[in-house]
Amino acid sequence: MAIKEGLRPGGRSARVQESVHSAVRQLLQEQERASVTVPQIAARAGVTPSTIYRRWGDLAALLADVALARMRPDSEPANTGSLRGDLQAWAEQYLDEMSSEPGRNMMRDVQSSQTPGYCVTILGGQLQVILDRYQASGQALPSVDRLINLLAAPTVFRILFGAAPMRVEELYELIEIALQP
Amino acid sequence: MAIKEGLRPGGRSARVQESVHSAVRQLLQEQERASVTVPQIAARAGVTPSTIYRRWGDLAALLADVALARMRPDSEPANTGSLRGDLQAWAEQYLDEMSSEPGRNMMRDVQSSQTPGYCVTILGGQLQVILDRYQASGQALPSVDRLINLLAAPTVFRILFGAAPMRVEELYELIEIALQP
């Protein structure tokens, strides 16, 4: 899409993305989420609404993209020196982030977006970084899918549908199950 | 609430519930979900909008209540003669139901409702029925929470956020994990 837009597609495309994301972040701080509109975002970002529709499809997809960009971690998962310790640190942080207001909003936006699977791709990437640290250790490693099914899924399910949030002890029990050969 | 409304609260309350639920089901068949309104439902059900607001709070809560009533199973989970077989039958049916259009709508409505935990209560009740069949068998039984974390949560997480749906073989592997002591 960006290629249609100019001679230096990467440059212009990246600038549009940054100014639109920044406009969304500002507007979400200033007003109720439900009242933010595409024309408003376009005006703040200095682009036309059709630029936004062409690039993101709709408001839900744009909000999801902004939320995912925010969730994409700046740094690698904590390295504690053991697989169990790394998973405990990662799972506790994931529980905290998803339980927070921005985390809940992100889950809502991602569900309304056209590419909800992108979220699991980011998640899987983080878990793969942890597993890669222990590839040479000789211990049997769980698969990324197993970790997503046994750690991420129950954490999110309980936030979205549970009567009570997941306790850290429960999360640790799930890590022990995931580590069983 | 029903007590305020008449001399035979159970009778009137049950009739209001049935006519409102029935109006919602009809309207959802006739028109787009996003265009259904509380005044429309009230007109079809022969009640005032304030009756609906008083009883359900808002449209999202009402839609969730209707969806949950529909999901609440008419019959007990299949009895195959073994815990493993019962869980396999239940999990496959749960995967089918949640992947369907009504299932996805229900998950969306329940998330917007004030009492999302109600959904897990129904789920837990179904799983408890299965476990109760094997209480006297002497085998070690998983807890309901374990089954929700290891079976229901990954199924739903993959539907909401995954790039590909859960395969039945994966579901069976998760059942084996849940059955490990």
Q: How far apart are CA A146 and CA B123, in angstroms?
A: 23
pLDDT at A179: 95
Q: Is the CB of A143 inside 8 Å of chain B's CB atoms? A: no
Q: Is the CB of A112 inside 8 Å of chain B's CB atoms? A: no
Check residues A8 and A69 and name the one with the higher pLDDT: A69
B149 and A160 in contact by Cβ < 8 A?
no
A177 and B177 in contact by Cβ < 8 A?
yes
Q: How far is CA A116 from CA A56, A58, A63, in A?
A: 14, 14, 12
Q: Are residues B80 and B124 in the same domain?
A: yes
pLDDT at B128: 94
Contact predicate B97/B166, CB 8 Å: no
Residues of A in contact with B158 (CB under 8 A): 149, 153
Domain CATH for B131:
1.10.357.10
Q: Are residues A120 and A172 in the same domain?
A: yes
Look at A38-42, A146-150, B13-17 and tell me which has the smallest mean pLDDT: B13-17
pLDDT at A8: 45
pLDDT at A113: 74
Check residues A30 and B74 and name the one with the higher pLDDT: A30
Sorting pLDDT into bands at 50, 70 and 90, what band is A10?
Answer: low
Mutation target for B interface from A71, A121, A148, A157: give the one with most B CBs within 10 A.
Answer: A157
Q: How far apart are CA B141 and CA B138, in angstroms?
A: 9
Mean pLDDT computed over every residue of chain A: 86
Q: Are residues A90 and A21 in the same domain?
A: no
What pLDDT tens digit does each residue of chain B (181 aa) get? 333 333 444 677 888 989 999 999 999 899 988 899 999 999 999 999 999 999 888 888 888 888 777 766 667 889 999 999 999 999 999 999 899 887 888 888 888 776 777 778 888 989 999 999 999 988 899 999 999 999 999 999 999 998 788 999 999 999 999 999 8
The neighbour count for residue A71, using CB atoms within 10 Å, is: 18
B161 and A108 in contact by Cβ < 8 A?
no
A160 and B121 in contact by Cβ < 8 A?
no
Q: Are residues A130 and A174 in the same domain?
A: yes
- Is residue B63 a part of any domain in this protein? no
Q: Are residues A25 and A94 in the same domain?
A: no
- Is residue B62 a part of any domain in this protein? no
Nearest alpha-carbon partner for A109 in A30, A36, A17, A41: A36
Q: Is the CB of A150 inside 8 Å of chain B's CB atoms? A: yes
- Is residue A63 a part of any domain in this protein? no
Domain CATH for A46:
1.10.10.60
Q: Are residues A47 and A78 in the same domain?
A: no
Check residues A4 and B27 and name the one with the higher pLDDT: B27
Residues of A in contact with B107 (CB under 8 A): 161
Q: Are residues B91 and B25 in the same domain?
A: no
Residues of B in contact with A165 (CB under 8 A): none
**How many Cα atoms within 13 Å fall on the side-chain side of residue A83?**
22
Alpha-carbon gap: B87 to the closest alpha carbon of chain A (Å): 17
B149 and A154 in contact by Cβ < 8 A?
yes
Q: Are residues A97 and A132 in the same domain?
A: yes
Domain boundary among the residues A13, A29, A57 is at A57
Provide the residue type at A33 as one letter: R
> Could you give the number of structural domains in chain B?
2
Q: Per-residue pLDDT for A32 more than 80?
A: yes
Supply the range of the domain harboring residue A20. Answer: 2-57
Sorting pLDDT into bands at 50, 70 and 90, what band is A73?
Answer: low
Alpha-carbon gap: B68 to the closest alpha carbon of chain A (Å): 13
Q: Are residues A78 and A53 in the same domain?
A: no
Token pair for residue A167?
């306790």
Token pair for residue A109?
């936006």
- ipTM of the shown complex: 0.76
Check residues B154 and A100 and name the one with the higher pLDDT: B154
- Is residue B99 a part of any domain in this protein? yes
Contact predicate B72/B97, CB 8 Å: no
Of A117, A145, A177, the CB nearest to B161: A117
Q: Per-residue pLDDT for A70 more than 80?
A: no
User: Which residue does chain A place closest to B165, by CA atoms?
Assistant: A117
Check residues B167 and A162 and name the one with the higher pLDDT: B167
Q: Are residues B51 and B80 in the same domain?
A: no
Q: How far is CA A58 from CA A42, A51, A67, A112, A121, in A?
A: 12, 11, 14, 10, 21
A152 and B149 in contact by Cβ < 8 A?
no
- Is residue B65 a part of any domain in this protein? no
Q: Per-residue pLDDT for A117 more than 80?
A: no
Contacts of B176 by beta carbon, 8 Å cutoff, 6+ apart: none
Of A116, A150, A180, the CB nearest to B150: A150
pLDDT at A51: 93
Question: In percent, how much of chain A has pLDDT > 70?
Answer: 91
- Is residue A20 a part of any domain in this protein? yes
Q: How far is CA A91 from CA A77, A148, B39, B154, in A?
A: 10, 10, 45, 16
pLDDT at B8: 45
pLDDT at A19: 94
- Is residue B68 a part of any domain in this protein? no
- Is residue B69 a part of any domain in this protein? no
Stated length of chain B? 181
Q: How far apart are CA B33 and CA B24, in angstroms?
A: 10
Q: Are residues A46 and A126 in the same domain?
A: no
A149 and B157 in contact by Cβ < 8 A?
yes
